[in-house]
Each structure stands twice: as C-alpha cells, then as structure tokens.
Amino acid sequence: MILYPKRFAFVALLISFITISFWTGSRYPALNQKAMMAESASVADTIAAFPILEVKDEFPMWKKIAYTTVNWANDNKKGMTFGVIIGGLFLTLFNYLQFRQKGNKMLKTFYGFLLGSPLGVCVNCAAPVFKGVLQSKQAELAFAMMISSPTMNMVVLTMLFSLFPFYMAVTKTLFVLIVIFAGVPLISTLLGADHQLKDWLKLEKEDVNLGQNCDVKHREPYGEAIFGFLKDIFRNIKFIIVRTVPLMLVAGFLGSVVSHLVSLDTIMAGGGIGVVLLVAAVGLFLPVPVAFDIILVNALFTAGMAPNLTLILLCTLGIYSSYSFMITWQSASKQWATGLSAVIFLMAVALGLTGDQLHRVFYLEPNIEAYKTMRGAPEAVVMEEDEILVEEQEPAKPLIFQSVWQKGNVIVEGAPFQVKTNQEGRFARSEGQFFGLREGFAYGIRDYPDPFWIGRGTGSGDFNGDGWQDVAFGSDTGIKLYRNVGGLFEKVLLTVKTSRYRVYSVAFIDWNNDGWLDLFFTTYLKGNFVIYNKNGVFSSELEPVPNNKGILTVSPSFGDFDRNGFPDIYNANMALGIVTGFHHYGPGRQNSITFNHGDRYQEAPLDQVDGESMASLVSDFNQDGWLDIYVNNDFTVPDYLYFGKSGGLALASRDAMAKMKSPFFSMSIDSGDLNNDGTMDYVSSGTIETAKFLADQREIDGVPYKDYSIFKNDESWCESIQEAGFRQRCLADRKLNKRINLKQKPKLDVAECSKIKESADREDCLLAVMWMIVTSNQPVDNCQEKFGFDQTIREVCDLHKARKAPLARDLFQQYMAQEDKAHIYLGDGHGSFRAMPVAHPGGWTWSMKIADLDNDGWLDIFNAEGAVREGQFGFNVLLHNQEGKGFEQRQFSWGMVDDFGMFSFSYIDFDHDGDLDIIANSAVGPVRLYENRLNNNNRLAVMVNQKTGNYYGLHSKIQITTGSGRTYLREIKAGGGYQSFDAPIAYFGLGEDEQIQKIVLSIPGREAIEINEKLPANQLYRISIQ
C-alpha cells in the first residue's frame, strides 16, 4: 500500500529523471568507451579503467597503492554519486510503501533482477542503492538488484559475448543467474523468515522509517507533500552517505593494496589448487568499476592467462567485492555477507578445477576439427619465379670519378651530382612500379599473426660498382632485387633460389672483404644467409651464417668488433612476438654476436634475459673508439645498451643510464649528431599510445589533431593506387580485415573463414586463425599428435610449447626504465646523455632514422608508421630539426603521409642528385618512393674504400669543416632503424656553403686521416686507402 501518494509520485519521477539522465549522459557513453578500450586488450592501472595518475613500475609500493586508490576513487566518483543519490531516493520511496513481509522468494528475486539489470552501475556503486532498497524489507529483491546491476546490463553483456569464446560468455551469464536465482533464495531459506536484517532495526530506531507499521494513507496538501518529500530525501541521502562512503574509501584502499601485493606473475604462471584458491579470493575481493572485469580479464587472457583462471576472474570480478561484503555485513547481517561470499567462492573454485577441460571441449577441439574439415589441399608450392627469364636492359653509365687529392696511400676522388631541376618544397610520393620497383612485401591475411605481420626489410647499396644505388626487399617469397639503371630500376633474377624463404631483413654487406657488396638476409625458422657477389654477379649458392639457432633475426646490425677487417653481426633475435613477449623463452630468442673470421664463424651468446628484440644498432655512442650496441626490446624486457671496450662488452646499468628511458614497445633506434656539437646523440621509438599525445598538440603540421586521429584506414587510400593489381589487393585486404575479426584473439573461430569465397584467401585465413588459436591458448603437450596433419601449425605449436615462465618486471630494476613515448637523447661524448623534449603524436612507429633531408646542415628524423591490421593507428612522422633546439612536425607539408603500413625504408640517393630520397617496403600498397624535391641547398657525400680490411669503412666517423667554419659529423653504419639498411655513404647538407676545407676520417683501430683541401660542394667523394 502507498502510504504517502503525493510524495511517492514526486520521488518516483525524480528517480526516473536522474536514472535516465545518468544512463544517457554518463553511464552508457562510458560503457561504450570501455567497450572500445576492451578491444585494445590493455589496461593502464590495476583496478581503474581511466587513471588520472600514471602508476610507474619504479614507484615504491606505498606510492603505487596511493595512486591506484586515487585512480579508483576517480573512476567510481560518478557511479558512487549516482549510487548514493539513488540509494537515498529508493530509501525514501520504499518508506512511502507498505510491503507484505511474506511472499514468493523467487518472485521477489525476479523483481530485483528486473530492477538492477538496466541500472548499469558497478558492484561498488550498487551497494548504496542496495542499502536503500533494503528499506523495502524484501531482502531477495535487494540482493538480486545489487548483483544484476553490474553484470546483466546490455552493454556489458554485449562486450562479454563479443570478446570471449561463446562458452565463456554463456558460463559467466549462467554463473550470475545461478547466484541470483539459486544462491539468493537458498540463503534466504536457510536463514529463515525470522532472520532480521540490521538496517530494518536501525531505520526504525532512528525514525527514518515513516510508516511501515501504519495502515493509514496520509492525505496532505501539495505544499506539505513537497516539503516533506524534500526533507525525507536529504535525511535519507545523509544516512546513506554516513553509512556507505567511508566504507567505500576503505574498500578502494584495500583493493589497491591487494591488487599490487598479489603477484600478477603468479597468476599468469598458473598452477594447482593453491593458485585457483588465490585467484578466486582476489576476484571476489577486488572492488572493480563496471565493465572493468571484462576489460581486465580480456587483457589477461590475451596475454596468456590460463582458461580456468580466466573463467574464475571473469565470473568473480564485478559480481561482488570487499565493499559489497562490508555493506552487506553492516546493513543486512554477517550471515548474508558470509553466505553470499561462500556461494560465489565455491562456484568459482569449481570453475577453476574444470575450466581447462571446458575450454578444451567447447573451444579448442571444435576449432581443430573445423580446421581439418575446412582445410583444402596441402599448402601450395611457391613457383620459383627465379627461373623466369626476362630481357635485360642496358646498364647505366657508371659514375666517373676524378682524382682531386692524394697524400701517401690516401686518394680522394670526386664525381659530381646530377643537376637538380625540381624544387617544390616537398617530397613527391610515387608508386614504385613507375620506377620499375614492382614487388615488395605484399601482405595478406596469412601474415596477420606474429611474427609475420611485422613487415619485411629494405636495403640499398651499389652491388655492381657503377655508382648507382641498387635496392633489395624482403618478402614472403624470397628476395626482390632491383638494379638501378640511371634513376630507374630493373629486376635482377638471382640464380640461387630464395623464394621458398620468408625473408625479413636484407642488407648489402661486403661479407668477405673483397670490395663487392654481398647480400645478407634473415629468415623465419630457416636461419640467416649470405649470397656472395663476385664482380657484380651473385653466386648460385647460399652460405648459412649462424644466429645462435634463433627463430628469427628480425633486425641485425653489423660492425667489426674484433677489428680483423671482416664485418661481424649482432643477432637481434625474436620468437613469436606478443605470444612470447611477456615470458622467458630460451635459445631460440637469445641474442648473440657472430664473429666473422673470413673462413669460419665463432658465436658468442649474450647472457642477459632475452626479449623480443625488434631492432639493434652498432655505433660508437660514447666516442671512445670502441663499438657499442643498442638493442630495442618489445614488451616486458627494456632496451639494452652495451658499451664496447678492449676486453669485450659491458651492459650499462640503470645507475649509469639514470637519465635515459626506453619505450615500452621499443621498435627502432638510430644515432647521429643532432645538435652539431661533435658528439653522437640517439633516438628511439616504438608503438606509442596515440591519444595520450595528440590532445596536447592542438594541431600537427597544420592539421587539427582530431582530424589526424581519424584520417586513416579508409578505402579511399586504396582507390588512389594507380596500378590496378595493387589497388584490388589493397581493397581486398581491407575488406577481409573488416569481415574477419582477428583482433580479438580469445574469441577466434575458424568458422569465420567460411565467409571468404576465394579459395586461396580462405586457406590463408584458416592458417592465420588456427595459428592464433594455438598461440593464444595454453601450450599443447603433444604437438605431433594434435597437429601432425599440418606442418606449419605443428611447428608453431612446438615453438609455443617452448615458452617458459612469465617475465617479472622486477628482474629489470637495474636496467633502463621504460616510458611510453619517443625519446631523443643528446650525448656528451663520454657515455652520458640528456633528454631533448619532442612533440611526437604517437602511433605505430616501425623504422625511425636520422638524416639531413633538406640539406640545411641539421639532421632530421623520419618515422615510418602504420599498421596493416584494421583499426590500428599511425601516419608517417617527419621531425624537422630546428637548428639543434628542437623539432617540428612536417609530415603533411612535406608530403610524407601514407596509409599502407610502411615498415622499413632506405635513405637512398637513387637519382644521384645529392639529396636523400626514400624507398619504402610498404605492406598493403605498392612499394613507395619519395623523391626529394625540397630545395637546392648545397650538399656533399663521402664514401670509403679501405683495401686493407673493412673495405667500406663501417663505423668510420667523418667530420667535415665547411668554408664558413661549420663542422658536421657523420658515421657510416650498417644497422639501426627497423629492418632498414642504407648504402655505406655519409651524406652532408651544407646549406649555402659552396665548399668544404677539411675532412677528418676516423676509422676504428687506426689513426685519423686529415684531408686539408678545399673541395667544391655537390659531389660524391670517394676516399681510397691503399
């Protein structure tokens, strides 16, 4: 019976208005935002979805707990405010009603379910509402409302079913329904009808209850009703605040403590009943925000958490918490608090003990059987296109060098650059086929999994000795080699068969020190090789080069470490990318140095904890004459910097590198003198969260940051491709990426591939999906038994099985700290560095390399960016050097933006006009060629020919002094960037200087050579040492 009709109507209207406003203005937009966050499979804090304070690994424990508590409170403030207000309003509303104490328990539970499901507030925010609803003296209704609110609203359910395997989503839903419709009535029945709840007694004692025991309707005028209802509301909201907010803060603090004290490594490693009990207890305890259970568990499952532990957390997080327990104990009774906890805990433990079996029966086995059924003929044999004969073009006219200086055994010769005619203030972007560069990587859906989607390499160098720089690309079908014919290219067909290899890095290196650039390349699972070049013709045999039995040397770097005249190689090895990136692995990923003794090799594995090494650079960072090594590691392991010395290498400690940090997902490294002070500086970058940096910049090179963040990934980029074959492939790949959802690894299903009509694409899809299913789940014990029918899947099963325990971040406290940003560090010449601020928009940086692109005398930085996966981010970024004081972005005004996933590139003067152009091995589109048409500033280039060893002068430092007295420093390197290799030539921009007056050449292991001679600009100079 309604005791106060007018007041009841006022409160009901107010509840409706506030609830609808909360849903439309805050809750559901926030849930949609969380749904997008869940797709990224990452979290920024342990129990907060949108942290306002960054919790760093190096923080002391008290600071981590304090920051997380603040972040949790901020995350919950809107929901808690709503919960307190609605709780007070429900307390008031039910004050105006008189309920029958007896009734059908299941029906009351059902009404509570209907009341709670659309509310969409978290388990913490539902607690104050629960306290208010308890005024109805319908315990089943109140508990059903509290449990259903955070778990059963449509947005959360949609996230659940879209992100997790169907059986997991059904299990979670059934778990909640069983707790509500079986657990709640069962506890109520066991406690009996006479069981009194604490709040019923307190409300009566404090006279908050207006008329539960009165059978008379109160008739009152509207004015008195309004005044009365407002007075009741404020009194009841105050009651809710006093009774719930202090406990909320205590729960947030305790949740922060537990979330940091319980080792994530222990949970990720899995284990027996002890870990099951621990995870169930933690899941039941943590007071997470609404939908954060979905976000967090998706991230953990994607990172490799066992299915049984995934099910435990999925079902316990968000349904109940330490805060709910305290409110239940305070408001209802200790019997209800412990009973509900026991029901949820025991059900979770049961799931933990059966979860792996459920996953095998309802997910893995059906996918394996579907793969066998849908898979067509065995993998096709790649046609050996090397056997196809084509008519060769006339060779280009060799450059003519003339002697300009000689002293003793040192000769300097010069060859003038071509006259530059185009000065448009930007780069001219072209499709490679118009210059003869028809084939590069050619990404397909088969390349979606790690480590296949990470691109293929680009290398340049003059292999036939005519002075024109040639190009080679890595691809899934071997090396694509092109000879430069006077600024155009023609394909060169190697007599050795490489098309059976997935080729990653490819570099022109004089491996045997005979003055001819050989071809070095790395492969997936097949090892590294060199193809020797004799007088401009490549051998018909491959020579294996050891790499410590690495799975993949993705970005090696070269240098003569032992100074015997032959280049050695630093093997930056990786395994399976994100699949193994958070775990120890072992020999297949351990980095090493392969020493080249001319007639034999010697391997030297490095002892540090191995990571997924994406890039490396050999360079003399501290300018002591010994070669140093920088290694970019993806995921948990930080970057390493080794300083060379006479007795070997020494890994720099965190104390020595106190001012230096590396990116979390480090991908690229390069060095150069950025401020023209005569010392080497360096830049490092990787995959960087875009949103974190865009909003601070307002506009980027004249483009509003909001436009920058969305200006990508549409099919108009494909339509702009002029060559029909590339255009169709680009459109097909993008449509496939949208039709087949490969982003959510936990929910992969080979049946999705049946959507593809084309048989070849369908086979590629099946292989990619099955690969990701195998690597996204716990390793299989007997790979031959499970996958013996498919060699490729069996291989990756074996590699996945070799994965070891998760990596603990505290292993790396003594090494370089990590920070999610691009880094520029200026060196002092003695091994110390200081940071230079840089405005970088973030994105998926692959290769980041240094060069003076506008020939003004200051080194610029170009970032090859982008990703082939649907929805990923990043345009190329060009950082223009502002005379050593900082950098400004110029990617739009200089014509550098693209949307085809540029993984690697080479700085190359392909037209021999003296400025550096860019040739890139893009993924979805054609090969990209950026012709430099910025200006006609003076320029100069220097190459070294050393007949006594180290023929091309690797790691020589070349310092020139111009006619106006300016000095510039360059180093000849063979490494850096990401799978990107340039010709062994040093390029200098001179601005308005028309001549140089001095060259100082410093070659490792010998005295510096000074050339005091006025030499005109705009020439390529060759320094020969007899």
Q: Across all residues in the chain, what is the average pLDDT?
A: 84
CA-only gyration radius of the chain, Å: 33
Look at residue 136 and tell me if it is in a domain: yes
Look at residue 935 and tell me if it is in a domain: yes
Look at residue 566 and tell me if it is in a domain: yes
CA 816, chain centre distance (Å): 19
Provide the pLDDT confidence category of residue 690 given band limits of 50, 70 and 90: low
pLDDT at 884: 93
Provide the pLDDT confidence category of residue 713 given band limits of 50, 70 and 90: low
pLDDT at 212: 46
Q: Are residues 879 and 914 in the same domain?
A: yes
Residue 483: is its pLDDT beyond 80? Answer: yes
Q: Flag the least confident range among 192-206, 567-581, 662-676.
A: 192-206
Q: Are residues 292 and 418 in the same domain?
A: no
pLDDT at 423: 85
SS3 508: strand
pLDDT average, residue stretch 843-872: 85
Tell me which of 494 and 102 has the higher pLDDT: 494
Q: Are residues 309 and 399 in the same domain?
A: no
pLDDT average, residue stretch 819-827: 88
Letter string b/e over residues 549-579, b meaning 16 or more CB atoms within 10 A of that residue's CB: ebbbbbbbbbbbbbbbebbbbbbbbbbbbbb
pLDDT at 669: 95
Residue 94: is its pLDDT beyond 80? Answer: no
Total tally of structural domains belonging to the chain? 2
Report the candidate in 107, 114, 110 with the shortest Cα–Cα distance to residue 153: 114
Tell me which of 226 and 103 has the higher pLDDT: 226
Provide the pLDDT confidence category of residue 46 given band limits of 50, 70 and 90: low
CA distance 593 to 577: 21
Q: Are residues 330 and 423 in the same domain?
A: no
Residues 6+ apart with CB under 8 A from 638: 611, 662, 666, 812, 815, 816, 817, 818
pLDDT at 695: 52
Q: Are residues 438 and 582 in the same domain?
A: yes
Report the candidate in 157, 142, 152, 193 with the shortest Cα–Cα distance to residue 340: 142
pLDDT at 213: 47
AA identity, residue 567:
P
Q: What is the CATH number of the domain that holds 492?
A: 2.130.10.10
Residue 562: is its pLDDT beyond 80? Answer: yes
Look at residue 421 and tell me if it is in a domain: yes
pLDDT at 256: 81
Residue 839: is its pLDDT beyond 70? Answer: yes
CA distance 241 to 80: 10
Look at residue 977 and tell me if it is in a domain: yes
pLDDT at 1010: 96
Q: Are residues 262 and 409 in the same domain?
A: no
Residue 31: is its pLDDT beyond 60? Answer: no
Is residue 175 a contact partner of residue 315, using CB atoms and an 8 Å limit?
A: yes
Q: Are residues 364 and 396 in the same domain?
A: no
Q: Are residues 392 and 332 in the same domain?
A: no
Residue 1: is its pLDDT beyond 80? Answer: no
pLDDT at 381: 38
Residue 1014: is its pLDDT beyond 90? Answer: yes
Q: Which of 62-76, 232-246, 305-319, 680-694 is predicted most confidently?
A: 305-319
Over pLDDT 70: what percentage of the chain? 85
CA distance 637 to 622: 23
Look at residue 729 and tell me if it is in a domain: no
Q: Flag the least confident range among 147-151, 407-411, 458-462, 549-553.
A: 147-151
Provide the pLDDT confidence category of residue 243 given band limits of 50, 70 and 90: confident
Provide the pLDDT confidence category of residue 592 given band limits of 50, 70 and 90: very high
Residue 41: is its pLDDT beyond 50? Answer: no
Q: Flag the least confident range among 145-159, 206-220, 256-270, 577-591.
A: 206-220
Q: Are residues 174 and 119 in the same domain?
A: yes
Output the six-digit token pair for 712: 């990508």
Look at residue 483 and tell me if it is in a domain: yes
Q: Flag the least confident range among 92-96, 718-722, 763-767, 984-988.
A: 92-96
Whether the bond between 451 and the residue before it is cis, its omega within 30 degrees of 0, is: yes
**Cα separation values, 711 from 455, 700, 714, 899, 926, Å:** 22, 12, 8, 9, 20
Helix (H) or strand (E) holding 643: strand 640-645
Q: Are residues 535 and 463 in the same domain?
A: yes
Q: Are residues 650 and 547 in the same domain?
A: yes
pLDDT average, residue stretch 324-345: 91
Letter string b/e over residues 742-759, b meaning 16 or more CB atoms within 10 A of that residue's CB: bbbbbbbbbebbeebeee
Q: Give the range of the structural domain holding residue 105, as residue numbers without chain letter.
A: 5-369
CA distance 470 to 484: 5
Look at residue 466 and tell me if it is in a domain: yes
Over pLDDT 90: what percentage of the chain? 42
HEC secondary structure over 654-691: CCCCCCCEECCCEEEEEEECCCCCCCCEEEEEEEECCH
pLDDT average, residue stretch 962-986: 96
pLDDT at 205: 52
pLDDT average, residue stretch 831-836: 85
The last residue of one of the domains, among 341, 369, 397, is: 369
The last residue of one of the domains, among 369, 402, 427, is: 369
**Cα separation values, 208 from 30, 95, 145, 233, Å:** 34, 8, 22, 10
The last residue of one of the domains, among 369, 394, 411, is: 369
pLDDT average, residue stretch 319-326: 88
Q: Are residues 122 and 201 in the same domain?
A: yes
pLDDT at 738: 62
Q: Which of 107-111, 405-409, 623-627 is predicted most confidently?
A: 405-409
pLDDT average, residue stretch 573-591: 88
